[in-house]
Amino acid sequence: MVNLKINGIDVSVPEGYTVLQAAREAGIDIPTLCYLKDVSHTGSCRMCVVEIKGARALQAACVYPVAEGIEVLTHSARVKRARKATLELILSNHDRKCLTCVRNQNCELQALCDELGVEEIAYEGVRNEYEIDDLSPSIVRDNNKCVLCRRCVSVCKDVQTVGVIDTMERGFATKVGCAFDKPLAETACVNCGQCIAACPVGALREKDGTDLVWDAIEDEDKYVIVQTAPAVRAALGEEFGYPIGTPVTGKMAAALKRMGFDKAFDTDTGADLTIMEEGTELLDRLQNGGKLPLITSCSPGWIKFCEHNYPDFLDNLSSCKSPHQMFGAILKSYYAKKEGIDPKKMFVVSVMPCVAKKFESAREEMECDGLRDVDAVITTRELARMIKQSGIKFRELPDEEFDNPFERATGAGVIFGTTGGVTEAALRTLYELVEKKPLDKVEFAAVRGTEGIKEATVTLGGKDVRVAIAHGLGNARKLLDSIRSGEKNYEFIEIMACPGGCVTGGGQPICSAKTYMDIDVKAERAKALYTEDERLTIRKSHENPDVKKLYDEFLEKPGSHVSHELLHTHYKARPKY
């Protein structure tokens, strides 16, 4: 332990802590902007400067290590003047259209202005002006609002190892951009949206799809169906003042019905369907010498990352579409026929925790007989905005169920939203199908948790099946490189593009850097899904009565010709850069 004084208070913290961490432990708040726990700690913004007794210059608390006996002042007059001057200089080159910014009232720059008492713009002068990059189907980049914190660069390069953005030029001309000034759409960007989640301001945002959805709802000639991914229920409540990790499934279903959608369904049904198809695919490969390991294909950010960086693993990918694409295909075939609805007039909206789903739904492969599986994708954040625009008092809504006939998804479908969830859902079904007996305990603790890479071995039919789970593309890269080198061997791999899985996807409510210092957001949101799983009566995908009926009446069996026509797809190699 290291002993120091902060503002005259004796503090004892572990060796290796920074002054920022030590102050936090002592209940002292130091403002930050470029710092983001586990992502960025460059000390470049200078908002966290503190005074160290005996040192001539102010030091950045986020990178300055504690040392025995040092004395720190976090809010001296000198420190406060420096911070305020720095903030005013940042504002001098910032597009200050706060009222029309998507991050209004959830902006770290705005919060700093309030905290430090900035009431006027001290420095007015030349401002850089940039064209908005909105060519990507998923992400809009507006450098006019960029504060050069470099958090987006750190998460793209160091966490996700995609590395398509970086700082360019020098001095006043410094900006964040892509090589050769290309738009994001012309790079190997995987659309994961982690840059959006990392951004403290409105310089990065999702491509808005709400107008398209409102137009469809208003069109009397369209039959508009909405489906919501499992992770949405674990985070939507945050937009309405609920604590992080509060499941709001019932209120969400009630809100969707009041917004004007003709039907509101749960994508968890698509997740149960995915387990049936993907589980069958794995068993077929295990029993018939197919390409192993089988790698899950639910995460479109991971799929595009694989297409760009690991084309030699494309044959290992499951041919299954992701759950919402599967479900969209079922709605426009089986459900449309059953209800007597012209599928050409059906408009399917997916509410996703993920901005990569916007790219995925537009892929040319995601259609059947000329009909797109999904017509529009909106994020959790966009749904929250639409609920507010509808004048719905979310917190006062009664809990309601999703609509028939797809209201009975299972606990296995729910946990798809967190890392390890797809694997656990698959194992629940595979074990019972292979062993021909019920599980004593449906929870598989070995595949749970937020470690970057997890491993487990499960015995199925007398054979050991080696399993690996990775979340975050940096961890995916480590895992695949270990397989390429021959160091590791597995039969089944689950990969999620986003750290923590879908619960912390690029379309989820954005938390501040201060929130991440105090709360493990991915763990809290995962708890919400596990809680819902535990309260459900049916917790295994193969026991979902609606899915059983679907196979009896339409699909025949998992892996059938009809299933392959509607629910499976293929992928292709893309340029590395």
Mind listing the pLDDT tens digit for each residue in 392-413? 999 999 999 999 888 888 999 9
Q: Which of 365, 367, 455, 524 is catalytic?
A: 365
- Is there a domain that residue 514 lies in? yes
Whole-number pLDDT of residue 496: 98
Contact in structure between 536 and 410 (CB atoms under 8 Å): yes
Residue 485 and residue 336 share a domain:
yes
The question of whether 108 is a catalytic residue gets the answer no
- The pLDDT of residue 53: 95
Query: What pLDDT shows up at residue 577?
Result: 85
Nearest Cα to 282, choosing from 493, 550, 469, 566? 493
Who contacts 462 (Cβ-Cβ below 8 Å, separation ≥6)? none
Residue 155 lies in a domain: no
Question: Do residue 333 and residue 473 come from a single domain?
Answer: yes
Place of tokens 């049904």: 269
- Catalytic residue, candidates 333, 400, 502, 543: 502
Q: Which of 277, 278, 400, 494 is catalytic?
A: 278
User: Which of these is catalytic: 318, 350, 541, 563?
Assistant: 318
Specify whether the CB–CB gap between 204 and 195 falls below 8 A.
yes
Q: 361 vs 15, 265, 507, 533, CA distance in Å?
A: 49, 18, 15, 27
Residue 373: per-residue pLDDT: 98
What CATH number is associated with residue 85? 3.10.20.740
- Is residue 256 in some structural domain? yes
Q: Is residue 240 part of a domain?
A: yes
Q: Can you give the pLDDT at residue 313?
A: 98
Query: Quick one: pLDDT at residue 71?
Result: 97
Q: Catalytic residue at 306?
A: no
Please give the pLDDT value at position 407: 82
Residue 119 known to be catalytic: no
Which residues are within 8 A (CB) of 360 and not within 5 positions of it... i.e. 6 or more apart?
Answer: 300, 303, 322, 325, 366, 377
Residue 254 has a pLDDT of 98
**CA–CA dist 292, 285 (Å, integer):** 7
- Domain membership of residue 348 (yes or no) is yes
* Residue 68 among the catalytic residues: no
Domain final residue pick, 42, 58, 91: 91
Q: Do 85 and 215 fall into the same domain? A: no
Q: How far is CA 252 from CA 230, 240, 353, in A?
A: 11, 11, 14
The reported pLDDT for the residue numbered 408 is 80
The answer to the question of residue 100 being in a domain is no
CB atoms within 10 A of CB 222: 16
Residues 88 and 268: their CA atoms lie apart, in Å, by: 48
| Low pLDDT (below 70) residues in the chain | none
Instruction: Assess if residue 389 is contained within a domain.
Output: yes
The residue annotated as part of the active site, out of 298, 320, 354, 498, is 298
Q: Give the distance from CA 174 to its chain's centroid.
A: 29
Active-site residue identified among 108, 206, 238, 281: 281
Cα torsion through 39, 44, 46, 50, rounded to 10: 70
Catalytic entry in 108, 206, 360, 532: 360
Residue where one domain finishes, among candidates 43, 65, 91: 91
Token representation of residue 78 = 């000198």
Among 258, 228, 232, 264, CA closest to 247: 232
* Owner of token pair 């509607």: 566
Say if strands 371-372 and 367-368 run parallel, antiparallel, or are unpaired. antiparallel
Q: Which residues of 507-546 are buried (b: 16+ CB within 10 A; e: fewer)?
A: bbbbbebbebeeebbbbbbbbbbbebbeeeebbbbbbbeb
Residue 278 appears among annotated catalytic residues:
yes
Domain boundary at 36, 63, 91, which? 91
Nearest-angstrom CA–CA distance, 575 and 225: 36
Structure confidence at residue 125 (pLDDT): 80
- How many structural domains compose the chain? 2
Instruction: Tell me whether residue 298 is one of the annotated catalytic residues.
Output: yes
Q: Find the CATH number of the domain harbouring 441.
A: 3.40.50.1780
Q: Which domain holds residue 40?
A: 2-91
Residue 460 DSSP SS3: strand
The one-letter amino acid code at 242 reads Y
Q: Which residues pair with 166 in a beta bridge?
A: 177
**Domain check: are 290 and 429 in the same one?**
yes
Is residue 104 in some structural domain? no
